[in-house]
Amino acid sequence: MSDMEHDRPGTRPVAIVTGGLQGLGLGAVLELGKSGFDVAIVDLPDAPVMPAELSQVEAAGGRCRYYQMDISDLARHGPVLDAIDADFGRLDCLVNNAGIAARPLTDLLELQPDAFDKSVDINLRGTFFLTQAFAKALLSAGKAAPESYKSIIIITSIAAELSFTDRSQYCVTKSALSMVTRLFAARLGAAGIHVHEIRPGLMETPMTAKVGNDTIARLIADGVVPLPRQGQPEDVGKAVAALAAGALPYMTGQPIWTAGGLNIARIL
């Protein structure tokens, strides 16, 4: 647990961010904290090194606590959600950010079943059933009250639509999560629970840095991205915070590209 705690349970909306210790997840945590949320970080390490930037959540008047969980371990979903609810006194938003990239990059025709299955277990299966458990928690005991905006946000990727044949398992899981978003949006809309998809583009994070080549810089230099820079974690974080706060109240089940215009088709 983080030592950044105050005895004020239930006074601020509560967001859960999976994979929140670094990269896009940390960006979401920080922007949610600035926007008035208490934040529960869910991530892998048993003894995490808490990022120094988390002091920004406390500076904004919020609380931040850490919970260890591998989202592919379905048996942990219920106990962790119960612990967060007990610690914070409420549940308002789930940000499904945790996932793994395709490493090493492998041609579609050479991909092995174990690599495919690992991506499915974490990126798709874990996210699906954590979303299911969170939705049930909101629906129980009237927690999806209309006066309190409730949301589920799924971080996918441009790979949900664009094809990359050297990371096929990643594309398959991210495209499937786009359908997961639509399914839960259709099922939960009548209860006042909004479900959103964010599609990050060419982002500068520790995960993308591991690719170890100049592909992204070359694409930007070639004008593939109309806004000519890499995306930053705070770009995704600001989108997450806006959605979680209900800034787009008459929208659900739709992808929001946070990609600098990469999705704009151009032939010249």
Q: Is residue 2 part of a domain?
A: no
Q: Is residue 268 part of a domain?
A: no
Instruction: Give CA–CA dist 237/28, Å, rounded.
Output: 4
**What CATH number did the domain enclosing 187 receive?**
3.40.50.720
Q: Residue 162 sits in which domain range?
A: 14-258
Residue 238 has pLDDT above 80, yes or no: yes
237 burial class (0-12, 13-18, 19+ CB within 10 angstroms)? Answer: buried
Under the banding of pLDDT at 50, 70 and 90, the label for residue 219 is confident
Average pLDDT for 252-264: 95
Q: Is residue 6 part of a domain?
A: no
Q: Please give the positions annotated as active site.
A: 170
Q: Is residue 5 part of a domain?
A: no
For the entire predicted model, the pTM comes to 0.93
Task: Return the DSSP state at 94.
Answer: E
Number of domain units in the chain: 1
Q: Is residue 208 part of a domain?
A: yes
Q: Is residue 264 part of a domain?
A: no
Q: Is residue 67 part of a domain?
A: yes
> Tokens 């349970």 appear where?
9
Under the banding of pLDDT at 50, 70 and 90, the label for residue 10 is confident
User: Please, what is the Cα angle at 33 between 20 and 187, to 5 degrees?
Assistant: 70
Per-residue pLDDT tens digits for 171-196 = 999 999 999 999 999 999 999 999 99
Q: Are 135 and 153 in contact (CB under 8 A)?
A: no
Under the banding of pLDDT at 50, 70 and 90, the label for residue 216 is confident
pLDDT for res 11:
85
The per-residue DSSP string of 12-40 comes to S-EEEEETTTSHHHHHHHHHHHHTT-EEE
Per-residue pLDDT tens digits for 140-164 = 967 555 568 999 999 999 999 999 9
